[in-house]
Chain A
């Protein structure tokens, strides 16, 4: 019983903290409604679809395939990304390019984003800097799994 009484001070302090937050935030919200600009905001949250946070430069977002100067993919279908991918979400089919300097290019390059875990290993493994994850695009949710399978056109475009 005495122990329970001992908690009383903390209980009061707790409710004072939440009350302070409530009153202060309410005050700043009211200021905002009245059109008074303040440095502090009532809420620290970001209203996502309208407001977007800038992604960090090292952030791993949607993949893209880099192209050569003439628009061909830089990828040489060496399949190192396929090898290193821990979720087995990349599929590459190679074809022969008549240009002897290129020789090998991907006829098919498919990433199943439904399986991708965005570890970025493919980017690190790529010897040609052909795949990057720097688009900053993170909202590519789809209604069907099939739409999450990205092919060459989608990845270059």
Chain B
């Protein structure tokens, strides 16, 4: 009895920790976006939000944003479908937030004789679960576009759905090569496989085994996040998108979903192609360098190193995505479709065939 309770407590703590990590990162990603874009454009970025006159390079900006969004009028147009209009942002938010459950943050943490898996839920179909949840997020888009009962939001929603579904294909196909290499859909196993060495020195990360798959996956994932080079569903400045009729916190949810998608894509890129929490040559008892050196480390340090490695990799990919968003202009819609169907899908097919040929050889 106490055993089950402790188990539940542990899972509960894991959920809380993961969600706090996720949401805090989301919050500060908005800060990072402001600051990074400012640095790219030789500006300073948001630096005015202060508490009692203390500014610390605008670190309080996300809170100011949040407070503003909470207190803004939540306007529901009289002509909208009220219930669907209300529920749409929550659907979007929920299906992204839940994906974090399948992501492994680290290996196994041993406290006393109890082993804790640093992953909320270790599915054996973890990869499929993540992909499924990401595609369900489309419902939020199409519902908000349709329920607003405004032809602009509807076309925005349709654009969004068409784009996301198109890239879903490339996204799924690009991972088949990966599954062929690491014969598992369990994300923790995929990460574990990546701890092995290729030719005795190179970690068996997905990027080295599946470079083409990585490229296709990254582009498709970028398109999935619906951010700038692929921001056709919304395009606030000129082409009016699906959440035009939203304001206040509901709009804020869409905004957060955007940033959460960045994080999810980053964790997926990390987990699938960059060894997840793996640190090169770090085994559970310490470093085993390929040139012969060894460095024994206590268990807790190893776990911390692994979690830190995971975080650093995720941060890097978040940074990279923001960099991409502030570098490229938006694609035209036909270019988006061309890129998806005429380039990424064939490339992912080539990747599958190539992987198959190499593996049989």
Contacts and interface: CB of A to CB of B under 8 A. Distances in A.
A21 B324 CA distance: 13
B327 A45 contact: no
B301 interface: no
Interface string A92-128: 0000000000000000000000000000000000000
Contact of A15 (B41, B42, B323, B342): B323
Interface string B29-60: 00000001011111110000000000000000
* Chain B contact patch, size range: 10 to 19
A21 B39 contact: yes
A29 B40 CA distance: 13
A42 B57 CA distance: 14
Contacts, number: 46
B343 interface: yes
A14 B328 contact: yes
Q: Interface majority SS on A: helix, strand, loop or mixed?
A: helix
Interface of A: 1, 4-5, 11, 14-15, 17-19, 21-22, 25-26, 29, 42-45, 47
Interface of B: 36, 38-44, 323-324, 326-328, 338-339, 342-343, 346
B323 A4 contact: no
A18 B323 contact: yes
Given A4-B339, A43-B43, A45-B43, A15 B38 contact: no
B326 A18 contact: yes
B42 A26 contact: no
Nearest to A4: B343
Contacts of A26: 39
Given A14-B328, A15-B323, A25 B42 contact: yes
Given A1-B342, A18-B323, A11 B42 contact: no
B60 to A, nearest CB: 17
A22 B39 contact: yes
Contacts of A45: 42-44
A47 B339 contact: no
B343 A19 contact: no
Given A11-B328, A44-B43, 16 more contacts: A1-B342, A1-B346, A5-B343, A15-B327, A17-B327, A18-B40, A18-B323, A18-B327, A21-B41, A21-B42, A22-B39, A22-B40, A25-B42, A26-B39, A43-B38, A45-B44
Nearest to B347: A1
Contacts of A43: 38, 42-44
B343 A42 contact: no
Q: Which of B39, B326, B343 has the most CB of A within 10 A?
A: B39
A121 to B, nearest CB: 36
A42 B38 CA distance: 10
| Interface SS of B by simple majority | helix
Contacts of B40: 18, 21-22, 25
B36 A22 contact: yes
A21 B323 CA distance: 11
A25 B326 CA distance: 15
B343 to A, nearest CB: 5
7 contacts: A15-B323, A15-B327, A18-B327, A21-B41, A22-B39, A45-B44, A47-B44
A74 to B, nearest CB: 43
B327 A1 contact: no
Given A1-B342, A1-B346, A42 B39 contact: yes
5 closest A-B pairs by beta carbon, nearest first, are: A18-B327, A25-B39, A43-B44, A18-B40, A44-B42
Given A21-B42, A22-B36, A25-B39, A15 B343 contact: no
Contacts of B327: 14-15, 17-18
A11 B343 CA distance: 16
Nearest to B41: A21
Contacts of B44: 42-43, 45, 47
A19 B316 CA distance: 13
A21 B44 CA distance: 13
Contacts of A25: 39-40, 42
Contacts of A22: 36, 39-40, 323
Contacts of A11: 328
Contacts of A21: 39-42
Contacts of A17: 327
A26 B40 CA distance: 9
